[in-house]
Amino acid sequence: MASDNPSVPEYIGHHLQNLVYGKFPEGGWGFAHSAAEAKSMGFWAIHVDTIGWSLGLGFLFLFLFRSIAKRAVAREPSGLQNAVEMIVEFVDQSVKDGFHGANRLVAPMALTIFVWVLLMNTMDLVPVDLIPWLASQLGIHYMKVVPTTDPNATLGLSISVFILMIIFSLKVKGVGGFVGELTLQPFGKWLIPFNFILEGVGLIAKPISLGLRLYGNLFAGELIFIMIALMPFYLQFLLSVPWAIFHILVIVLQAYIFMMLTIVYMNMAHEAH
């Protein structure tokens, strides 16, 4: 951190600042050592901690599920195998209930989204000072460990879902059908410009609301943990444990909502008017 005894604003700002790599205005590339330097790097700066933790948790998901699948047994399965099977069956049933088209990509995508977002959200339960302190011992100035508290990550996920939605809409309905949905409803061909404005706003709002909902809920939860960490030790224990238990519900619920909305959007892309 900037000092051994930071003020409250410095402490909060430090925990909310990403590890940013980019090009300095005066030239040269490197890591930002302050929020001002990170801001000066502009739009194309890279949030190294967000990308690193996202990829790491993604590979953890792939490794874990692949290992369980290779060692799966019908008799006397392990507790971890039972947990993985419960998650797979839960996601499979959710897809059957919410998606009525024919696309073999939707179920694996829903499983990936649910588990990946759940793992990223779960990092919010790690003590707020632990990993940043370990990073500081290695000379790393900033380290945010919850990728879903970075709007770049959540909007990246939602925009990816949005792009797939557009692709499958064009594939299933054709260009004419897709354009017709945007221009001919809800008021028919006599109000095409008005229809297009209404439907266009609704279409663009889907990825924005999908990404910002996840970001807002996790960011608020992280901020509360940071505020609790500023309190005396006895208050930290009294408040952090109940909040962590409650926050588990938020973590799971937000992963479920992101998955279900993805399934709904995929279903809309495969439905004819």
pLDDT digits (tens, 9 = 90+) for 199-222: 899 999 999 999 999 999 999 999
Per the annotation, the verdict on 71 as an active-site residue is no
Per the annotation, the verdict on 40 as an active-site residue is no
Q: Which residues contact residue 80 at a Cβ distance below 8 angstroms, ignoring those fewer than 6 apart?
A: 64, 68
More confident residue, 48 or 78: 48
pLDDT in the model for residue 252: 97
pLDDT in the model for residue 187: 81
Tokens matching residue 226 = 């940071």
Instruction: Give the model confidence (pLDDT) of 87-146 as tens digits.
Output: 999 999 999 999 998 889 999 999 999 999 999 999 999 999 999 999 999 999 899 999
End-to-end C-alpha distance for the chain, whole angstroms: 56
More confident residue, 187 or 208: 208
pLDDT in the model for residue 54: 97
Helix residue ranges, H only, 123-191: 130-137, 151-183
Instruction: Give the model confidence (pLDDT) of 144-169 as tens digits.
Output: 999 999 999 999 999 999 999 999 99
67, 78, 82, 209: the active-site residue? 209
Q: What is the pTM of this model?
A: 0.92
18, 54, 195, 217: the active-site residue? 217
Per the annotation, the verdict on 34 as an active-site residue is no
Confidence grade of residue 4 (pLDDT, cut at 50, 70, 90)? low
- Specify the DSSP class assigned to residue 126: S
40, 103, 136, 213: the active-site residue? 213
Work out the percent of the chain whose per-residue pLDDT is above 70: 98
Confidence grade of residue 2 (pLDDT, cut at 50, 70, 90)? very low
Tally of CB atoms within 10 A around 138: 7
Confidence grade of residue 76 (pLDDT, cut at 50, 70, 90)? confident
pLDDT in the model for residue 184: 84
Domain residue limits, the chain: 8-270
pLDDT in the model for residue 271: 82
Instruction: Give the model confidence (pLDDT) of 8-58 as tens digits.
Output: 888 999 999 999 999 999 888 999 998 899 999 998 899 999 999 999 999
User: Can the peptide bond before residue 9 be classed as cis, meaning omega within 30 degrees of 0?
Assistant: no
pLDDT in the model for residue 106: 95
Confidence grade of residue 273 (pLDDT, cut at 50, 70, 90)? low
Q: Which amino acid type is present at position 46? A: I
Residues 91 and 142: their CA atoms lie apart, in Å, by: 36
Q: What is the mean pLDDT of the chain?
A: 92
269 has a pLDDT exceeding 60:
yes
224 has a pLDDT exceeding 90:
yes
Please report which helix (H) or strand (E) contains residue 257, including its range. helix 233-270
